[in-house]
Amino acid sequence: MEPVNTYRSGPDEQGHFGMFGGRYVAETLMPLILELEEAWHAARKDPEFQAELEHWAKHYIGRPSPLYYAQRLTEHLGGAKVYFKRDELNHTGAHKINNTVGQILLAKRMGKTRIIAETGAGQHGVATATVCAKVGLPCVVYMGETDIARQAPNVFRMKLLGAEVVPVVSGSRTLKDAMNEALRDWVTNVESTFYIIGTAAGPHPYPELVREFQSIIGRETREQMMEAEGRLPDALVACIGGGSNAIGLFHPFLDDPEVAIYGVEAAGHGIESGQHAASIAGGRPGVLHGNRTYLLQDDDGQITEAHSISAGLDYPGIGPEHAWLADSGRVTYVSATDKEALEAFQLCTRMEGIIPALEPAHALAYVTKLAPTMAADKTIVMNMCGRGDKDVFTVAEALGVTL
Amino acid sequence: MSETRIDRRFAKLKQEGRAGLVAYVMAGDPDIETFYDYFRGLPGAGVDVIELGMCFTDPMADGPNVQVAGQRALKAGMTLRKTLELVRRFRKEDDDTPIVLMGYYNPIYSYGNEAFLADAREAGLDGLIIVDLPPEEDSELCEPTIKAGLNWIRLATPTTDAKRMPAVLANTSGFIYYVSITGITGSAAADPDAVGKAVARLREKTDLPVAVGFGIRTPEQAAAIARVADAAVVGSAFCQTVADSLDDQGKAKPDCVTNVLALARALGDGVRGARA
């Protein structure tokens, strides 16, 4: 690839990040996508919209989230200072709410009266149901039957919040199928419905607008690091499913070459086992869910099933901007297995008194490898993008404990 | 672009003063040989144009009937390469009936656009309907397809407004496929009056034949559409008929082929009698 002057200018007008991204949707949806793009561009320039967003961020989500120095973990690892960006302390327990607040405000602005969403682990479903309850809009969440079985507490939370949770029984019955079903709903209810996509993927302008709503993570981190250390971090680490928490942390730092950036994919039982969710390490470019990106697929271009112990990373694709950042070399993509994530999950819980979600436990697994290779005067910021309460049943089962 | 089988077929229909029947069938459903048996029988049963469904794991615009048909085909080992093989085989028996490949982009992208177009042309395929390639992505496959001499057939929908229509019609050839409802395949039937008005609006902008699909299942519905459009497209009903002709193990029962062709005949009669 040609060297670029900036890594922060994408996407282009057609929604492309290099060869990735785009708008690969059915004609029925095209006018809606264009309408959304127009509304989004107007909103982002509107000081009133920005003010409302800031108000919600402060008083409803609880931002800014702290930047926390993990002292015992740092001493244990014996290398770079490890900081956590504590987005697990947000209302609803993950970074997902940053995006759903932004999109619900956009939906209201567009006069939409019904909200749909897809969810894997249920965190995005909960975050969507939450904002729908707050504004009083009906909410339908599509969730694969397999995920419903392994994320029962979140299913109940969504129902308590007044959402209708529709089990998806097509295909592999996980996140990708939930997304198919949400798209089918949208194509049917085009006039009334706003589709709140949960990650920085899908047709343009979703990857861009989700990134913008999540970039508050990176913007706060910049300020907080300047305050704590008087300089930018030496490394950033975040887990990648679709990649919204990661792009949110990374984006404000992309043009700071002194900051090394690592995205951690879920390697499941190991990349070589074929049972993983690492689209960059084990996939190739393809077109799905409205964008071109790295996908897990067979020789015929059929999408294959992802595997990860973390339902939130269990998706056979990745946001298109990550695909582009991987090809451009600006971000280094690595992976962590189920086993490594479980070990990091326990380490963090015991060392810091923070139960991480299984998703950031993947990021932490890489931090445990990276920190010891760096000098003690270097710093790492890891995005603690979700809390692990939802995962205690999964972890108990993996550790052979009967509750 | 030189005249294609699709152009010739619609010219012939016009001459006969009737609308055509377009049948959508899922290639390889429920298994490759059973499929081929009904596929080759469709023209004789009254089908004028065949839309060959290309199976995909994630058919975002399709309803349950087409989804499970695609899953059956995948289970039977269907691939894009084998689908082209079926076209090649068909062409040895029938050099007139147009075949349009319909599906999603990724299997073609994975095959390699250039290699695919060369093989598709050689196999005797006439056109493409790729659901997830809107005009905004025309440089991707649409323009190379036209260069290869195949028809690029686009979907127009109730949400395609006057502002957007020129973009949808540009680069469309063979016929335009009007999706009669906002929704997925196999949904509720469209109101023929509303369809008639939409077709009239389309005809103000284009001389292309207009085929109407989504939500047409019965000979009566097909006849109603045939009165206002140049062709009626039926898909989910064919997939449903295959599903109804399977045993407990999901294997084709002996009457699978005759059931599919009986549906084609009934629909063909409906379309042919519509303007009488």
Q: What is the ipTM of this complex?
A: 0.95
Sign of CA dihedral B121, B127, B133, B137: positive
8 A C-beta contact, residue A30 and residue B136: yes
Residue A309: alpha-carbon gap to chain centroid? 16
- State CA B26 to chain mean position distance: 10
Burial of A136 (0-12, 13-18, 19+ CB in 10 A): exposed
Residues of B in contact with A180 (CB under 8 A): 58-60
Nearest-10 crossing angle of helices B113-123, B80-93: 20
B119 is catalytic: no
Q: What is the pLDDT of residue A1?
A: 54
Q: A27 to chain B: which residues are within 8 Å by CB?
A: 134, 154-157, 159-160, 168, 179
Structure tokens at A365: 């697994």
Asked if A37 is an interface residue toward chain B (Cβ–Cβ < 8 A), one would say: no
Q: Please, is A2 exposed, middle or buried when counting C-beta atoms within 10 Å of its C-beta (0-12, 13-18, 19+)? A: exposed
Q: CA A402 to CA B17: how far, in whole Å?
A: 74
Sheet strand arrangement including B231-234: B151-152, B127-130, B99-103, B49-53, B20-26, B231-234, B210-213, B176-179, B155-156
Contact B12, B65 (CB under 8 A): no
**A4-39 pLDDT per residue, tens:** 789 999 999 999 999 999 999 999 899 999 999 999
Structure tokens at A257: 């070459």
DSSP classification of residue A303: B
Instruction: Choose, from B7, B51, B138, B230, the residue flagged as catalytic.
Output: B51
CB within 8 Å of A304: residues ≥ 6 apart: A296, A297, A298, A316, B57
Residues B216 and B229: their CA atoms lie apart, in Å, by 13
Q: How far is A305 from chain B (nearest CA, A)?
A: 10
Percent of chain B with pLDDT over 90: 89
Tokens of A245: 């928490």
Provide the 10 A C-beta neighbour count for residue B253. Answer: 13
Print pLDDT tens along chain B (276 aa): 789 999 999 999 999 999 999 999 999 999 999 999 999 999 999 999 999 999 999 999 999 999 999 999 999 999 999 999 999 999 999 999 999 999 999 999 999 999 999 999 999 999 999 999 999 999 999 999 999 999 999 999 988 988 999 999 999 999 999 998 888 887 777 788 889 999 999 999 999 999 999 889 999 999 999 999 999 999 999 999 999 999 999 999 999 999 999 999 999 999 999 987
Tally the C-alpha atoms within 13 A of residue B153's C-alpha that lie toward its C-beta: 29
CA distance, residue B152 to nearest chain A CA (Å): 14
Residue partners of B112: CB distance under 8 A and separation at least 6 = none
Residues in chain A predicted with pLDDT less than 50, given as ranges, are: none
Amino acid letter, residue A39: A
Annotated catalytic, B62? yes
Contact present, B171 and B143 (Cβ < 8 Å): yes
Q: Measuring CA to CA, which residue among A235, A275, A242, A202 is closest to residue A383? A: A235
CA–CA separation, B247 and A175 (whole Å): 31
Cα–Cα distances in angstroms (integers) from residue B57 to residues A69, A162, A180, A388, B236, in the given order: 45, 32, 10, 32, 17
Helix (H, G, I), strand (E, B) or coil at A297: strand
Which of A23, A184, A301 shows the shortest C-beta gap to B136? A23
Within 10 angstroms of residue A60's Cβ, the number of other Cβ atoms is 16
Comparing C-alpha atoms, which of B159, B189, B183, B160 is closest to residue B172?
B160
Q: Nearest to residue B62, comparing CAs of B99, B24, B29?
A: B24
pLDDT of res. B2: 81
Q: What percent of chain A has pLDDT over 90?
A: 92
What Å distances lie between residue A132 and A127, A232, B187, B210, CA to CA? Answer: 9, 37, 28, 42
Point out the catalytic residue in the list B29, B62, B119, B126.
B62
CB contact under 8 A, A301 and B63: no
C-alpha atoms less than 13 angstroms from C-alpha of A101 in its C-beta half-sphere: 27
CA distance A285 to chain B (A): 8
- Buried b or exposed e, range B177-214, using 16+ CB within 10 angstroms: bbbbbbbbbbbebbebeebbebbeebeeebebbbbbbb
- Enter the DSSP assignment of A94: B
Interchain contact, A24 vs B187, CB within 8 Å: no
Beta strands B210-213; B231-234: pairing state: parallel
Q: Which of A14, A184, A302 sits opposite B60 (nearest CB)?
A: A184
Please tell me the distance from the alpha carbon of residue A135 to that of residue A327, in angstroms, as a whole number: 41
The residue to which tokens 């209201």 are assigned: A108
Which residues are within 8 A (CB) of A47 and not within 5 positions of it... i.e. 6 or more apart? none
- Tell me the chain B residues in contact with residue A191 when contact means C-beta distances shorter than 8 Å: 182
